[in-house]
Amino acid sequence: MPGMNRTRTLLLAAVVGTLVVPGSVAHSASQARDPFTHWRHQHVADGVELYHRVITGRPGADHWTVTVLVDGAHLGTDADARATADRLTAAGLAARVEQVRWPDGADVSGALGSRVRVGEFGGQNQADRQRDAIKAAGFDAVSEWTGGDGVPGTGTAQVKVAVIDPHRYRGELRGSYGTAVAGRELTTDMAAGALLGVNAGFFVMEAVDGVPGASAGIAAYDGRPQSAATNGRVAITLRGNGLRPEFGRMSTRSTVHSGQTVELVDGINRVPGKIRNCGGVGGDQPTERPLHDVTCTDPDEIVAFTPELGVPTPAGPGVEAVLDSAGLVLELRPRGGPVPAGGGVLAGIGSGETWLRAHGKPGATLAVRHVITDEQGREVRLGPGDDIVNGGPRLVRDGRVEIDFRADGIDRPGEPSFPYAWAIKRNPRMVLGVDRRGRILLLTSAGRQPGYSDGLGVAESAELIRSLGAVDAVNLDGGGSTTMVLNGTMITMPSDATGQRAVGDALLLTR
């Protein structure tokens, strides 16, 4: 089915009336004035409205099927997929090959890969029986619901959109790491006392990849950097009351100064040698470009820790210089210990350890400087109340769908199954956009729940929020992290079997 994932056509129908294809000349004058005409509406507060809609495809379009893995992956080259289909046919199993393409509006185009499938079933139990028969024939296979494929005219999405008018709302939109930079917390806990709260940026999930709960990308709260950028990846800056978000690709460069001697600081509040989502500096392997859900490594690093970390620094080989508020070295110790209030810690491994032993003796002064720059190379200065949260990819720019899969590290040449599962297929999503009137749109969709909500593909999210008036929009962390809280109550349906997922940070609309 060539072109099956060209999501410019989005989803075709809704519970109330018809969701007209974005960009179609069929838009009525009323829809042009109010894109939420057919949405259920709830007034939340002066300047804050909440909308809900169930978007569905053609009746009967979705079914269960069996996907046969191609060399262990859901997606392979067309040649490999056809070879797998031929082997299935020889085994007496009728297989089909479906081509998957990159969506319109992306910075990469053409065929992403091909998948192999067998059968169409009304129930999962039927698909499971076929899957077991295919496995018995020597193939690896999984049962799948086609509503999650991202094919236009299929699927179901339970969508909520909070609209915040900065001209009327008198509160603030703030980033929050909860009680500490390290550690994961429930969005409902972080949003206690707030009018509205949603999960925010990407973060470290497991200790094998760094400090759990710490941001996996740039983060700053109250004007203080707490995590280095995934260099070149988009982020959102919230200045003052936070109600006029700024979008841009950001980079960070941190240094430590000992007199006239300057050394690179590779990161902030992370395990030395581990760079989640990559995009770092100083010779990281396998790359210094963003690479989502990959942990790059570097044996020679200096990492800065702030008091907001909230836990002892990670133990391991190397050395730490403990600093007071003036940058005076209080002690040189093995790695792993508290960060002094008002001070900091510099941890070094490899050549970083060598530098700290030479320049970080007790009584010496070390000055740490963090510089944030935008995509034009201009310094991004933060005031005491300013926040930054990370995200990606960018979805809408200047009113057009422009998705930077490649620049954002979602495209992995030679690994088509990752962008297929993460971006093309439907998942729970969280998106922040701004329309021409300056209103903030916080869009969330439940997902991974066949029969209730499949979610949205990344390109579908972009098209949908653009159709609601967004001129700029960014994808935030999604999947099991997706959570929206209103007046202390979670109003989204978690996709994880265990319920609401603990996350790294949140966006809070305070009163």
pLDDT tens-digit map of 23-60: 333 333 444 578 999 999 999 999 999 999 999 999 99
Q: What CATH number was assigned to the domain covering residues 64-148?
A: 3.30.70
pLDDT of 163-192, one tens digit each? 999 999 999 999 999 999 999 999 999 999
Range of weakest confidence among 11-20, 52-61, 113-122, 446-455: 11-20
Query: Tokens standing for 356?
Result: 């700290």
Mean pLDDT over each residue of the chain, to the nearest integer: 93
What percent of the chain shows pLDDT beyond 90? 93
- Three-class secondary structure assignment of 335-358: ECCCCCCCCEEEEEECHHHHHHHH
In this prediction, residue 20 has a pLDDT band, given cuts at 50, 70 and 90, of very low
Give residue 318's identity as a one-letter amino acid code: G
- pTM, two decimals, is 0.93
- Averaged over 280-307, what is the pLDDT? 97
Neighbours of 275 (CB within 10 A): 31
329-370 tens-digit pLDDT = 999 999 999 999 999 999 999 999 999 999 999 999 999 999
- pLDDT at position 32, please? 54
Q: Where are the domains of the chain?
A: 64-148, 247-373
Quick one: how far is CA 249 from the chain centroid? 14
pLDDT of residue 442: 98
pLDDT at position 413 is 87
For residue 28, what pLDDT is reported?
A: 38
Please check whether residue 15 is in contact with residue 39, taking contact to mean a CB–CB distance below 8 angstroms. no
Neighbour tally for 466: CB within 10 Å: 24
- Report pLDDT for 33: 77
Rounded to whole angstroms, the Cα distance separating 328 from 363 reads 6
Report the pLDDT averaged over residues 2-16: 36
